[in-house]
């Protein structure tokens, strides 16, 4: 058995619990600890699995104490894994202490893998042993798409990655797939598409948190570090496509109200691309020779990025062994696919601890 | 350490040896046995790694005896893995005996996983234990592309695969990407493209061995079995696109000489597709509801299969969690990427035996 503790029981955490309740037992995975931001519930000394009524158990539980949750997992005779389903910096800072207690980490939280480089190095160092504990974070990039697993395989087997290029944000994928297309008759206004994306729930509460490129920058940083580059958010060239006059307006609603003033600006950029039979895409690039960054790029119709649909992510690795690229494409956001990525990582841990 | 024995030292085997000599030591992988179809070389009782002059060691070795090779690997204190780089049925039939001796299997050989269903079941059964031995065969489909690893993750985590559709053959990818395109001015003759593909070394010595669909059928069978279907080559509907009059001609050269007689036939099929603004692609399909097979299918320009280039493979999984598809694309043939897939599998074994 593997004892699983889940920190963060929002959309992704709840979906993960549902997937584990349905399919975890056959993989010897047992949820024994759950924590929301306020309350937590630990199972008993026999580490009995928590399955039904978990929500009520958490809501009526003791005050959340992640130190105690980790000690509880570490005290079990079975291997313990903490799954961080928050997006919190302060939870990520706890990973080294958890790894030191022998607990594996699985997480979709980007903070520990894209923030402070020393924290990242410490996580890597403490999860290096063949006997565990392990740290997996597939779902930080492209949700459940096998992006980091594939990158890791390429690196471990000695391939040389010469470029990683991708549309890493479902939100920006949706926006530019709809805004910049060679097949649509009449281009829509940029502001209109952003508003629809927000209504569909595709954007952050303030869409500027998508358009400023920082979410993509974190994913680029994670990919860069996965191939051994000492990348940091601070050194990455990030093209913030929020018009500068709107970067400082106070509220999301004021931003959306005023965005139409800049429709002509975006239409001009788009028009230039379309005139060359190209489309605009907002991409993240890892280039070991320099030039890593997040930016608007033009692609011809024949390029796989040009025919992307919906809110799919697409990531292309160019390597010595794959000079024409290895491409992975599909839904890169949403609770079901994010939880799938976490669950897959959890099975990798389970398989490596031989249970 | 993991002791590695390689059976088959042709193109793929040699490339794998090169990759392991360059990058295997840091992963605790050590080649200790090599066999060609005639000769073999086993290292000493200390299982010293074979690195340089391996070719000469094999050529001047003892007569090949795979039983003895397996016993030698099994007698070591370190975990042993046999890598079957042949395409032989008779080698695949040995897997159960090797697994029973505690040896893991890694292979790009499709025979054991697409042939006799009882052999397949026996391999699966004998490699089921959490402590090993293990059997990995990523490179049987799409070479090093993460096709089976991803399918396995989907299945293990309880996702429901509703369809697998792909261009599984580099040869047929090249032929139809060049034959059926919405952007090219004047379609080339089918026979001409097949001849060029043969000259480039993309086809089997007799191109009918590609065009008859059996290679794709094997890959479809492997994918179907990976999601739990009891598929066999015999029950699969395979569209053999070799004109029936040419299926029985004696030699490859006679086939190529006479293929131009059927250019009008292929041009007509292509013309019908292009008139509908679609292209022809030769695909393999796994459909759990029935309808699995290998066939010519028409796709509109916006479909990812339509814009494929070169000899890339592309495989699309449609599942409950990925209703719009998870797509993997890239080189699916060639020694470097096939060896990469084997090497990645080998690292999975190494990680699971904790060394």
- What's the CATH code, domain A152-332? 3.30.360.10
The larger pLDDT score, comparing residue A165 to residue B290, is at A165
Global pTM reads 0.97
- For residue B184, pLDDT beyond 70: no
Residues of chain B neighbouring A332 (CB-CB closer than 8 A): none
User: CA B12, CA B137: separation in Å to the nearest integer?
Assistant: 14
What would the two tokens of residue B183 be? 């952007």
Residue pointed to by tokens 């022998």: A102
Q: Residue B141 has what pLDDT?
A: 98
Inter-residue contact A132 to A104 (CB < 8 Å): yes
d(CA A247, CA A262): 13
Of B198, B219, B298, B316, which is the active-site residue? B219
Looking at residue A37, its pLDDT comes to 96
**What are the φ/ψ torsions at residue A239 (nearest 5 degrees)?**
-85, 105
Burial of B67 (0-12, 13-18, 19+ CB in 10 A): exposed
Cα–chain center distance at B216: 9
Helix residue ranges, H only, chain B: 11-23, 54-59, 66-75, 89-92, 95-100, 111-114, 117-126, 147-156, 170-179, 190-199, 208-211, 214-226, 252-258, 263-275, 335-352
Is A72 in contact with A63 (CB distance < 8 Å)? no
Helices (H), A127-259: 147-156, 170-179, 190-199, 208-211, 214-226, 252-258
Residues of A in contact with B153 (CB under 8 A): 146, 340, 344, 347
DSSP symbol at B81: E
The per-residue pLDDT string of chain A (355 residues; one tens digit each, 9 = 90 and over) reads 999 999 999 999 999 999 999 999 999 999 999 999 999 999 999 999 998 799 999 999 999 999 999 999 999 999 999 999 999 999 999 999 999 999 999 999 999 999 999 999 999 999 999 999 999 999 999 999 999 999 999 999 999 999 999 999 999 999 999 999 988 678 899 999 999 999 998 999 999 999 999 999 999 999 999 999 999 999 999 999 999 999 999 999 999 999 999 999 999 999 999 999 999 999 999 999 998 999 999 999 889 999 899 999 999 999 999 999 999 999 999 999 999 999 999 999 999 998 7
Alpha carbons within 13 angstroms on the beta-carbon side of residue B332 total: 31
Q: State yes or no: B61 annotated in a binding site.
A: no
Cis peptide before A67 (omega within 30 of 0): no
pLDDT in tens, B75-92: 999 999 999 999 999 999
Residues of B with CB under 8 A from a CB of A: 19, 22-23, 27, 130-131, 144-146, 149-150, 153-154, 156-159, 183, 302, 304, 307, 309-310, 312, 320-322, 324-331, 336-337, 340, 343-344, 347, 351-352, 354-355
What residues does each domain of chain B span? 2-143+336-353, 152-332
Q: Find tokens 């060679």 and name the residue.
A: A182
CA distance B214 to chain A (A): 25
Q: What is the pLDDT at residue A187?
A: 83
3-state SS track over B190-219: HHHHHHHHHHCCCCCCCCHHHHCCHHHHHH
DSSP label at residue A139: G
C-alpha B69/C-alpha B65 separation (Å) is 6
Q: How far apart are CA A147 and CA A220, in angstroms?
A: 12
Partner-chain contact A307 B309, CB within 8 Å: no
pLDDT of A354: 80
- Residues A277-294 as b or e (16 or more Cβ within 10 Å = b): ebbbbbbbbbbbeeebbb
DSSP-derived pairing of the beta strands A278-286 and A161-167 = antiparallel
Tell me the HSE value of A165 on the side-chain side, using a 13 A CA sphere. Answer: 19
Predicted local confidence at residue B51, as pLDDT: 82
CATH number of A2-143+336-353: 3.40.50.720
Q: Calculate how close chain B gets to A207, using CA atoms only, in Å.
A: 24
Active site residue B298: no
Mean local confidence (pLDDT), B317-334: 97
Determine, for residues B327 and A331 on separate chains, whether the beta-carbon distance falls below 8 Å. Answer: no
DSSP strand pairing (B161-167 vs B278-286): antiparallel
Q: What is the pLDDT of residue A184?
A: 66
Average pLDDT, chain B: 96
Question: Could you give the ipTM of this predicted complex?
Answer: 0.96
User: Higher pLDDT residue, B52 or A131?
Assistant: A131
Is B9 annotated to bind a ligand? Reply is yes
Q: How many beta-carbon contacts under 8 Å exist across A and B?
A: 127
Residues A74, A101 contacting (CB under 8 angstroms):
yes
Say if residue B30 is exposed, middle or buried (CB neighbours under 10 Å; 0-12, 13-18, 19+). buried
For position A123, what pLDDT does the model report?
Answer: 98
């Amino acid at each position: 058995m593997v004892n699983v503790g889940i920190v963060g029981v929002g959309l992704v955490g709840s979906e993960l619990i549902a997937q584990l309740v349905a399919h975890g037992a056959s993989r010897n995975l047992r949820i024994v600890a759950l924590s929301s931001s306020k309350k937590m519930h630990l199972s008993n000394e026999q580490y009995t699995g928590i399955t039904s009524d978990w929500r009520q158990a958490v809501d009526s539980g003791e005050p959340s104490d992640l130190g105690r949750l980790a000690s509880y997992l570490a005290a079990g005779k079975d291997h313990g894994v903490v799954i961080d389903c928050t997006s919190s910096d302060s939870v990520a800072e706890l990973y080294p202490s958890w790894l030191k207690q022998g607990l594996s980490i699985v997480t979709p939280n980007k903070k520990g893998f894209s923030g402070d480089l020393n924290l990242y190095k410490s996580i890597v160092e403490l999860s290096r042993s063949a006997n565990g504990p392990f740290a997996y974070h597939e779902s930080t990039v492209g949700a459940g798409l096998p992006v980091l697993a594939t990158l890791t395989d390429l690196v471990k087997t000695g391939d040389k990655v010469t470029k990683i290029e991708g549309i890493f944000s479902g939100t920006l994928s949706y926006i530019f797939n709809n805004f910049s297309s060679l097949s649509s008759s009449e281009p829509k206004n940029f502001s209109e598409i952003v508003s629809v994306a927000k209504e569909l729930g595709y954007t952050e509460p303030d869409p500027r948190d998508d358009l400023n490129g920082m979410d993509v920058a974190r994913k680029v940083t994670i990919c860069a570090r996965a191939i051994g580059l000492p990348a940091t958010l601070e050194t990455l060239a990030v093209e913030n496509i929020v018009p500068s006059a709107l970067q400082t307006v106070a509220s999301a609603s004021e931003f959306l109200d005023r965005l139409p003033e800049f429709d002509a600006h975006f239409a001009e950029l788009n028009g230039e691309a379309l005139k060359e039979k190209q489309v605009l895409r907002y991409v993240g690039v890892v280039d070991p020779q320099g030039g890593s960054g997040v930016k608007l790029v033009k692609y011809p119709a024949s390029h796989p990025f040009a025919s992307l649909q919906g809110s799919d992510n697409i990531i292309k690795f160019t390597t010595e062994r794959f000079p024409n690229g290895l491409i992975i494409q599909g839904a890169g956001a949403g609770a079901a696919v994010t939880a799938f990525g976490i669950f897959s990582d959890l099975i990798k841990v389970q398989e490596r601890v031989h249970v």
